[in-house]
């Protein structure tokens, strides 16, 4: 179990702190709380390493949740609907906002990268 808990951390982190952390795990009783805390920390580090992927996944999840809420509220039967009332227009904007934010972030990064390229 201790080897598994060490293995869930990103490779770069393990290279830097692995020996220390392995020693700490040997001295720590593996309670459920301790295991959950280690897994939570490792997941956080992995998300930091892949922040862009986390943003995209979060956007997809939020969009899907808002779409489900809109369908259950009777505002639409599917993902394609016309904003015929103010409430439907607001809901459509809420559903599209996470995707628009990620697309805007990607466009901004691309523009910034072009500014740093040698001419």
Q: Tens digit of pLDDT per residue, the chain (119 long)?
A: 899 999 999 999 999 999 999 999 999 899 999 999 999 999 888 888 787 777 888 888 888 888 888 888 887 766 666 778 888 888 888 888 888 888 888 888 888 888 766 65
* 17 lies in the same domain as 55: no
Which pLDDT score is estimated for 70? 80
> Is 112 found in the same domain as 67?
yes
Q: Both 60 and 111 in a single domain?
A: yes
> According to the model, what pLDDT value does residue 21 have?
93
* Residue 95, domain extent: 51-116
Can you tell me the distance from the alpha carbon of 70 to that of 54, in angstroms, rounded to the nearest whole number? 24
Q: Are residues 13 and 24 in the same domain?
A: yes
> In this structure, how many other beta carbons lie within 10 angstroms of the beta carbon of residue 105?
14
Picking from 85, 35, 97, the residue whose alpha carbon sits closest to that of residue 60 is 97
Rg (CA), the chain: 22
Record the pTM: 0.47
């Amino acid at each position: 179990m201790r080897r598994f808990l060490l293995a869930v951390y990103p490779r770069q982190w393990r290279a830097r702190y692995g020996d220390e952390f392995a020693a700490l795990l040997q001295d720590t009783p593996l309670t459920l709380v301790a295991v959950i805390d280690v897994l939570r920390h490792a997941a956080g580090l992995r998300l930091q390493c892949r922040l862009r992927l986390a943003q995209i996944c979060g956007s997809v999840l939020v969009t899907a949740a808002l779409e489900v809420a809109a369908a259950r509220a009777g505002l639409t039967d599917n993902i394609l609907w016309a904003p015929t009332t103010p409430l439907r227009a607001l809901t459509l904007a809420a559903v599209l906002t996470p995707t628009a934010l990620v697309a805007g972030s990607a466009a901004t990064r691309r523009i910034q990268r072009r500014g740093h390229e040698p001419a």
